[in-house]
Structure 1
Amino acid sequence: MAVYVDDAVIAWRGQRWAHLMADTLDELHAFAARLGLPRRAFQDKTSGAHYDVTTDMRLQALALGAVGISRHRDRAQVRAVIAVAKAQGRGLAP
């Protein structure tokens, strides 16, 4: 079981953002709580269950043990993580 943070640093509201995802929703919520993210920040979407994190939070997540994944280098792994997040967002996975 793992928690992942991607390198999709998207500009929004004056900051750059990435996505925090996990193999299970329980892991995702527990890890997000360790980062200080409120549960209301959870994005339960059919495009993928995740939390948005700033680049500073991304670095903190990596320091806490999240696995960094790159849309540029780890394409197969990113697709697999996103597939799980999508299933979670549709209520099809734990």
Structure 2
Amino acid sequence: MTVLIDQPIWPAHDTVWAHIVSDASLSELHEFAASAGVPRRSFDLDHYDVPARLWTELVERGAQPVSVREFVRRLEASGLRVPQRDR
């Protein structure tokens, strides 16, 4: 299992956000998020939105930091990507 995390560069709600995904399965992603205390309501079809304040903790828990480009490439390769138009 590899949980990936991009950089917290997405502004909203007075902070910036990162995303976490799994390159293997949604169940692994949900398990990782739950173990880190990320609420299920943060899940958006193929990823979790996570505030910048959690970034270091998630990396310490095993999330692999990658560039946004790598993040999207690996999510698409996993077959778990939900295209924007389907959202």
- Is TM > 0.5 for Structure 1 vs Structure 2? yes
**Residue equivalent to 2:73:** 80
Across the aligned residues of Structure 1 and Structure 2, the Cα RMSD in angstroms comes to 1.7
**Residue equivalent to 2:53:** 56
The aligned runs of 1:1-94 (5 Å cut-off) are 1-23=1-23, 24-44=25-45, 49-71=46-68, 75=69, 77-83=70-76, 84=78, 85-86=80-81, 89=82
Partner letter of residue 18 of structure 2? Answer: A
- Count of residues in correspondence between the two structures: 80
Between the aligned residues of both structures, percent identity stands at: 34
TM-score in terms of structure 1 length? 0.74
Cα deviation per residue 1:17-71 (whole Å; 9 max; x = unaligned)? 0111012101100111012122222101xxxx00000111111110101100013
Shift >6 Å, 4+ stretches? none
Instruction: Assess, with a 3 A threshold, how the Cα gap between structure 1 residues 79 and 37 changes in structure 2: closer, same or farther.
Output: closer
Could you list the runs of 5+ residues in structure 1 that have no partner in the other structure?
A: none
Distance 1:67 1:34 in 2: 16
Could you list the runs of 5+ residues in structure 2 that have no partner in the other structure?
A: none
